[in-house]
Amino acid sequence: MNEKKNKILIVDDEPQIRKMLNIFLEGEDFRTEESDNGKQAVRMINSTKPDLVLLDLGLPDMDGKDVITAVREWTQVPIVILSVRALDDEIVQALDRGADDYIVKPFNADVLIARIRANLRKSVVREAGLPELAVGNVRIDLVRHEVFVGDNKVSLTPKEYELLRYFMINQGCMLTHRQILEAVWGPAHHEDVQYLRVYVGQVRNKIEKRPDMPQLIVTEPGVGYRFENRPVETEKAA
């Protein structure tokens, strides 16, 4: 199973730019998705939940600043502008609309990667308060998307990672099935309780010493789940 990698959505109407960015980003172990217009980009940010958006301002169907405004109504995903527009007024407007950073084309690839990593670090600190989460013996490096039980690194699929991260951010809280499904899979999946049970079972198999008698991800019958702050013996997580 593939481990979680940070996902970058590239929004640019020039195929050559998207291809070049894909090469740079995949070489740095990022996953990438692409959009060549603003309306599709807004839909993809909602449906695929990227970790960061690289956004050109000169899109064929709408100005990139309007994409920022639309997206900021419901998410704080990091947005890095990548544009030929170098006027101070354009930069100020984009940042005022909610962009996190602004890079003028042509750009240096190393600088771009450094800016992306910096904005990803700020994003996880903003969400969780720290660059890593630790509950008992379970630890998540939120920047590298790595999970450990004790000293053992555990391989999780992207959705398993998102589910565990949500549990740990909300440790000690009773979370309803609907809350979890909407947060991890999106509003369209709020009734998929059996789907959630399958994933909870998979995560328990990877972090619990006795998945049949879970001590961390505790079931609240008829309601949902709660993540408890308890140590786990490390021999389970090989």
Tens of pLDDT, residue by residue over 66-115, are 999 999 988 889 999 999 998 888 998 999 998 989 999 988 999 899 88
Q: What are the residues facing 224 on neighbouring strands? A: 176, 220
* CATH at residue 66: 3.40.50.2300
Report the pLDDT value the prediction gives residue 238, as an integer from 0 to 100.
Answer: 38
Eight-class DSSP state of 82: E
With respect to residue 108, please indicate whether it lies within any of the assigned structural domains: yes
pLDDT digits (tens, 9 = 90+) for 113-142: 988 988 887 777 666 566 788 888 899 888
Residue 106 to residues 24, 109, 198: CA-CA distances in angstroms?
14, 9, 47
Q: Are residues 143 and 161 in the same domain?
A: yes
Is residue 41 over pLDDT 60?
yes
**What is the number of domains present in the chain?**
2
Q: What is the pTM of this model?
A: 0.60
**Kindly report the CA angle at 110 between 107 and 112, in degrees rounded to 5?**
55
Q: Are residues 118 and 17 in the same domain?
A: yes
Q: Are residues 59 and 143 in the same domain?
A: no
Q: Are residues 138 and 39 in the same domain?
A: no
Q: Are residues 104 and 198 in the same domain?
A: no
Report the pLDDT value the prediction gives residue 144, as an integer from 0 to 100.
Answer: 77
Q: Are residues 31 and 122 in the same domain?
A: yes
Encode 151-188: b = buried (16+ Cβ within 10 Å), e = exposed.
Answer: eeebebbbebbbbbbebbbbeeeebebbbbbebbbeee
Residue 100, SS3 per DSSP: coil
**What is the span of the domain harbouring residue 26?**
7-128
